């Protein structure tokens, strides 16, 4: 059986809340929330009867896909989150509702029977956030952010009123992309409870909190890649049976989702560590190099917290890591220090070949760096900060 699928770009999230509630209850069509200004007239056909929400995402590779989520998966994610965080509560929505994280804030609010507060879309302003958060009334209070939003809040936390608001949150969930260790450390020093989340649209949002799977989520490593199982898994991809079969597999009666992320699971504690995308690897001098691993090290260095590392072709080594940075840094000798830090931890094959400066880091609609565009800059750009040897 199937049900109609409604694509819409809601002008206000609270209007979408009522539509979402009907979709979850089976009293209305399945919904595909679109970004503001998107064309909602596209005919998507019907969705399977179980599906309540379809999330359109380009992921980290830019390849578009429409993830089908059943009511049970969305509610399972909300229930697992509530149990892990200490109870259901009131949510402040600070993310767009065409993101799975934004949808889940609304789903959790519906499940908790609480009224979410909605931050006005547009530029994220810490003081606007503070004023809205001060109106929250429930004893347990939550919000979900991306790392750049958390960074802006912490940068403004010298304001006692803002700091008091941040400390009042039972938990601030942060996910969507890698979060810098210094942000976690700063939040801890300020006594702000940040929960790092890992998940995707295919898992109805975050299903691993601070490295620990929540609910009935299971995590395993197959050929170095993380695979997830549990009630939160999506039904698959709308109109794409081939991709669905490639990413969702059935093994001994258990359904698993292949994340495409490299990772590890501690055999004693079960704690999950995400190492980076499996498709973000180059071959340099005959050795595999994870660009995500290089990037993590580079971002620990002063002034390079926002750097992005991409691959570029090289006549001698095949491919090499290239650091792309917005703005400007000092002397060319800084590359030597960056390269030395990477080599010390990852070996010479991972040594960045150069630093390329750009006006700003281009981003995808998801807010993640547009690595394809940056790779083009890296291929064409060379500001003189080149290594003499690999």
CATH T-level topology, domain 2-273? Rossmann fold (3.40.50)
Q: Say which CATH superfamily domain 280-380 falls into.
A: ANL, C-terminal domain (3.30.300.30)
pLDDT for 383 equals 41
pLDDT for 112 equals 96
pLDDT for 36 equals 77
Of the candidates 93, 55, 60, 96, the residue with the CA atom closest to the CA atom of residue 74: 55
Q: What is the DSSP string of 6-28?
A: EEE--SSHHHHHHHHHHHHHTSS
pLDDT for 367 equals 67
Task: Give the C-alpha separation, 281 to 60, whole Å.
Answer: 13
Residue-range domain boundaries for the chain: 2-273, 280-380
Task: Give the C-alpha separation, 95 to 74, whole Å.
Answer: 17
Per-residue pLDDT of the chain in tens (390 residues, 90 and over written 9): 889 999 998 888 888 999 999 999 999 999 999 887 776 666 678 899 999 999 998 755 556 799 999 999 999 999 999 999 999 999 999 999 999 999 999 999 999 999 999 998 888 999 999 999 999 999 999 999 988 899 999 999 999 999 999 999 999 999 877 788 888 999 999 999 999 999 999 999 999 999 999 999 999 999 999 999 999 999 999 999 999 999 999 999 999 999 999 999 999 999 999 988 888 888 888 888 888 889 889 988 888 888 899 999 988 888 899 999 887 554 334 788 898 999 999 889 999 998 888 888 887 766 678 888 888 888 876 443 333 333
Half-sphere exposure of 178 (CA within 13 A, CB side): 22
Helix (H) or strand (E) run with residue 92 in it:
strand 90-93
């Amino acid at each position: 059986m199937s049900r109609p699928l409604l694509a819409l770009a809601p002008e206000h999230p609270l209007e979408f809340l009522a539509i979402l509630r009907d979709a979850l209850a089976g009293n209305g069509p399945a919904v595909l929330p679109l970004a503001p200004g998107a064309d909602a007239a596209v005919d998507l056909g019907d969705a399977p009867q179980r599906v309540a929400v379809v999330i359109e995402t380009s992921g980290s590779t830019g390849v578009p896909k429409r993830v089908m989520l059943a009511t049970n998966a969305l509610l399972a994610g909300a229930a697992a989150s509530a149990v892990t965080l200490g109870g259901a509560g009131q949510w402040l929505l600070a993310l767009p509702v065409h993101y799975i994280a934004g949808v889940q804030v609304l789903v959790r609010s519906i499940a908790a029977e609480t009224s979410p507060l909605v931050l006005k879309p547009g530029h994220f302003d810490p003081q606007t956030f503070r004023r809205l958060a001060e109106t929250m009334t429930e004893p347990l209070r939550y919000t979900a952010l991306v790392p750049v939003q958390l960074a802006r809040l912490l940068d403004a936390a010298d304001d006692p009123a803002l700091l008091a608001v941040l400390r009042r949150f039972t938990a601030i969930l942060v996910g969507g992309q890698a979060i810098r260790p210094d942000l976690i450390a700063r939040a801890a020093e300020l006594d702000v409870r940040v929960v790092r989340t890992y998940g995707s649209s295919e898992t109805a949002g975050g299903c691993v909190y601070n490295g620990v799977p929540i609910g009935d989520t299971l995590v395993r490593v197959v050929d170095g890649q993380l695979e997830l199982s549990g009630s939160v898994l999506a039904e698959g991809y709308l109109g794409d049976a081939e991709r669905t079969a490639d990413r969702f597999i059935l093994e001994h009666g258990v359904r698993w989702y292949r994340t495409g992320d490299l990772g590890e699971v501690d055999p004693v504690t079960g704690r999950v560590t995400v190492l980076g995308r499996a498709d973000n690897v180059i071959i340099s001098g005959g050795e595999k190099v994870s660009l995500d691993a290089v990037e993590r090290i580079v971002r620990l260095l002063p002034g390079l917290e926002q750097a992005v590392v991409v691959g570029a072709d090289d006549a001698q080594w095949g491919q090499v890591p290239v650091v792309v940075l917005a703005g400007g840094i000092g002397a060319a000798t800084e590359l030597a220090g960056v390269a030395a830090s990477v080599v010390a931890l990852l070996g010479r094959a991972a040594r960045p070949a150069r630093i390329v400066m750009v006006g700003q880091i281009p981003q995808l609609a998801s807010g993640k760096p547009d690595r394809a565009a940056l790779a083009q800059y890296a291929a064409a750009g060379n500001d003189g900060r080149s290594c003499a040897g690999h």
